[in-house]
Structure 1
Amino acid sequence: MIESILHTLPQVLFDGLTLGAVYAVVALGYTMVYGILELINFAHGEIFMTGAFIGTAVLITSQTWGWLQMFPVWFTLFAVLVIASLSTGIMGVAIERVAYRPLRHLPRLIPLISAIGISFLLQDIVRFITELKRGIYILTGPTLYDEQLTLTVSSIFSGFTDIYFKATTIILLGCTLLMMIGLDFFVNKTKWGMAMRAVAQDPETASLMGVNVNKVVTLTFFIGSALGGATGVLFAQQYGTIDPYVGFILGLKAFTAAVLGGIGNIRGAMFGGILLGLIEMFAAANLGLLTNGMVGAEYKDVFAFAILIIVLTFKPEGLFGKAAIEKV
């Protein structure tokens, strides 16, 4: 059994890293909003889903009208990422302005319910539009860079299998890494990032020091939603098929990753996403082997939520979070 697990380990780790990168970037949206407002934006998974649909719809339209062949593939992908990012970024700002800002000073349960309502609303809007245009709500679009590649491992380590992946996997890993590094630099090295950290620490004092809290909150929602939308496009390119409910479970897992790393901690969210992706892919590949066929790969989702329960029970502040002392 150990030999079988080790035999497929390189492929499992590579696939887990790919999935974990998606979780990590989506988790950033949760952790940024919570760090500023202490609000769990449960609509963020649907913003990710909307970005996937916007990007795929642009590619389908370009293919139908013949625009897809007019430009280099790299330019087309870049343009789709920009369109989806701007669209979902503006959407995130609008959601904050309409659904969250009027409820900001009310008990936390009320904006949380509003976030859940926005989540279901986005699901149904996307499903309605997709069924209206295509008759079905499952969307499959053209995939760019779908060449199959192989990373030879067996010639170096005879006990392991080679790693098989698509070219889009490298693009996904590269883009998500750039987004994570860029966000970390922005938050820690720029004036707007300093303002975000100040508001996260004490919004009232930051306001007295001249920081426009509303602008900082708006910027936070824009950046988090734009990153989520771009990741949605990369997810659609990687896995090919999307539906209006793809953001629900993925959003919950990304939230789990944020809690695992320490919600409110940006680097913690990145680490939590990668770790969760690796654990989930390992479970999917080896559950049947470890349980003698009693439990299959379809139970891999149990691991994500079991981790959430364990973390909340034994270390609710997360791996990188700090326990807050509340004065009464």
Structure 2
Amino acid sequence: MLTEVLHTLPQVLIDGLTLGAVYAVVALGYTMVYGILELINFAHGEIFMTGAFIGTAMLLSFTSLGLMAAMPALLALIIIILITSVLTGLLGVGIERVAYRPVRNSPKLIALITAIGISFVLQDLIRFITELKKGNYILTGPSLFTDQIVVKTSAILPVFSDASFKSSFIIVLVTAIILMVGLDFFINRTKWGMAMRAVAQDRETAALMTVNVNRVIAITFFVGSALGGATGVLFAIQYGTIDPYIGFILGLKAFTAAVLGGIGNIRGAMLGGILIGLLEMFAAANLTIITNGVFGAEYKDVFAFAILILVLIFKPEGLFGKAVTEKV
């Protein structure tokens, strides 16, 4: 059994890093909003999905207009990611202003129900628009960055099999790292990042110290939603086919990653996403082997939520979170 597990390990690591990078960047949106508002923005998965549809629609438009042939594909992708990030960032700000701000001082359950409602609205809106334009709500983008690269891992250890990946893997991984490092720098090294941390620590005191709380919250939603939209484009490039419901399960897994790393902790969300992606791919590749055929690869989704339950039972603050001490 161990030999069979090791045989697939290089491919598992590559696939797990790709998926984990997507989870990690989406998890950042959850953890940023929760850190400041203590709101689980369940519409964030649908913002990710919206970004995937906007990016794919732009890729198809660029292809039909001949722009993909007139410029390098990588340059076109960068332009599309930037435009999609701005559009989904503005969408996030709009959602905060219309749906979340009016219920900000209401019981948290009301805000949570509002977030779930927004997610369903976005799902059905994207489905309606896609069916209206294409006649089908499933969208397939043009084939880009599909060159197969083979890594001769068998030369390192004979027990390993050779691993392969599409060139899009490099783009997804590098872009995700840039986004995560850029966000970490923004939060810890800039004036607005300092304002976000101040509002997260004590909103009332920050307001007394002349911090514009509403603007800080709007910027938080813009940045988190922009990251989600950019990741949606990367997901569409890597996996090709998208539908209006990809944001639901992926969003829940990204939320699980945020909880695993410590909800409200930026670096914890990054590592939590990578761990969830690696564990999920490991389960998909080896669950049948480990359980002697009792469970198949289709049970890989159970892994993410089993981890969430275990973390909440034994370390509810997450791997990198700090336990909150309440003074009585």
| Structure-2 separation of matches of 1:150 and 1:213 | 50
Deviations 1:186-245 (A, max 9, x none): 101111111110000001111111111111100100000000000000000000100000
Q: Say if 1:24 and 1:254, in contact at 8 Å, map to a contact too.
A: yes
Residues 72-113 of structure 1, C-alpha deviations (whole Å, 9 max, x = no match): 111100111011101100000000000000110010000110
Tell me how far apart the structure 2 counterparts of residues 279 and 82 of structure 1 sit (CA, whole Å).
31
Give, in whole Å, the separation in 2 of the partners of 1:64 and 1:327: 62
For residues 187 and 116 of structure 1, the distance between their equivalents in structure 2, rounded to whole angstroms, comes to 27
Per-residue deviation, residues 44-97 of structure 1 (Å, max 9, x unmatched): 000000000000000111112222212111110011101110110000000000
Partner residue in 1 for 2:163: 163
Asked whether 1:175 is paired with 2:175, we answer yes
Please name the residue that 2:75 is paired with. Answer: 75
Aligned partner of 1:44 in structure 2 is 44
CA distance in 2, matches of 1:178, 1:171: 11
Pairing 1:246-325 to 2, within 5 Å after superposition: 246-325=246-325
Cα separation, 2, equivalents of 1:143 and 1:28: 28
The match for 2:60 is 60
Instruction: Decide whether the 8 Å contact of 1:47 with 1:225 is kept in 2.
Output: yes
Counterpart AA for 1:7? H
Tell me, what secondary structure is at the counterpart of 2:68?
A: coil
What's the secondary structure of 1:164's corresponding residue?
strand
TM (norm. structure 1) is: 0.99
Cα deviations by residue, 1:265-301 (Å, 9 ceiling, x for unpaired): 0000001000111111100000111111121100000
Identity of aligned residues (%): 71
Cα separation, 1, equivalents of 2:319 and 2:157 = 33
Gap regions ≥5 residues in structure 1: none
Correspondence list, 1:58-207, <5 A: 58-207=58-207
Secondary structure at 2:299 match in 1: helix
Cα RMSD after superposing both structures: 0.8
| Counterpart Cα distance in 1 of 2:326 and 2:251 | 29
Conserved in 2, the CA contact under 8 Å of 1:26 and 1:227?
yes
- Secondary structure of 2:55's match? helix
Q: TM-score, normalised by structure 2?
A: 0.99
Describe the SS at the equivalent of 1:249: helix
Cα distance in 2 for residues equivalent to 1:260 and 1:63: 40
Give how far 1:144 is off: 2.0
3-state SS, counterpart of residue 88 of structure 1 = helix
- Matches of 2:202 and 2:173, distance apart in 1: 35
Residue segments in structure 2 that go unaligned for 5+ positions in a row = none
Deviation at 1:155, TM superposition (A): 1.4
- In structure 2, give the amino acid aligned to 1:185: F
Task: Measure, in 2, the Cα distance between the counterparts of 1:71 and 1:275.
Answer: 37
Write the deviation string for residues 164-186 of structure 1: whole angstroms up to 9, x where unpaired.
00000000000000000000011
SS at match of 2:325: coil
CA distance in 2, matches of 1:106, 1:16: 40
Q: Give the conservation status (yes or no) of the 8 Å contact 1:256–1:308.
A: yes
Looking at structure 2, the residues matched to 258 and 202 of structure 1 have their Cα atoms a distance apart, in angstroms, of 21
Q: Give the 3-state SS of the residue equivalent to 1:316 in structure 2.
A: coil
1:218-237 mapped onto 2 (5 Å cutoff): 218-237=218-237
Structure 1 residue 143: deviation in Å? Answer: 2.9
The residue matched to 1:149 in structure 2 has which SS? strand
Hey, which bits of structure 1, 4+ residues long, moved more than 4 A? none
- Matched letter for residue 60 of structure 2: I
Find the residue that maps to 2:155 and give its secondary structure: coil
Which AA in structure 2 matches 1:110? I
Cα contact 1:77–1:144 (8 A) shared by 2: no
* 1:313 to partner: Cα distance: 1.2
